Amino acid sequence: MPWSKKRDGQWVLPYRSTIACIIRQGPAKSVPNDKTIALGFLTVDSESRGVFEERWDVQLMFSVADALFHPLRLYLEIQNQNEPAAP
């Protein structure tokens, strides 16, 4: 385990800052989407405080997460096709 157990209310995780966003189908006018499909979350952690800049990092994270949606969805579909059927 890369970090120690909680002692006396101290922060025990190896990071101090994190930013996260959902991996989902991004909104698009050309693709009407009745239902949002969420595949997971993209997170970036840092050992330092105050390293994320809201002005730049929020849009960057959403862009990367949106770009991951289609390849990740295809990967999950292929993975699910190769799983044996439940009895």
Predicted local distance difference test score (pLDDT) of residue 67: 92
* Chain length of the chain: 87
Share of the chain above pLDDT 70, in %: 74
Indicate if the pLDDT at residue 4 is higher than 60: no
Percent of the chain beyond pLDDT 90? Answer: 29
Q: Give the pLDDT score at 33.
A: 63
User: Which residues does 58 contact at the CB level (< 8 Å), separation at least 6?
Assistant: 19, 21
Give the containing element (helix H, strand E) for 23.
strand 17-24
Strand (E) or helix (H) holding 70? helix 54-81
pTM: 0.67
Q: Tally Cβ neighbours within 10 Å of residue 62.
A: 16
5 vs 24 pLDDT, higher one: 24
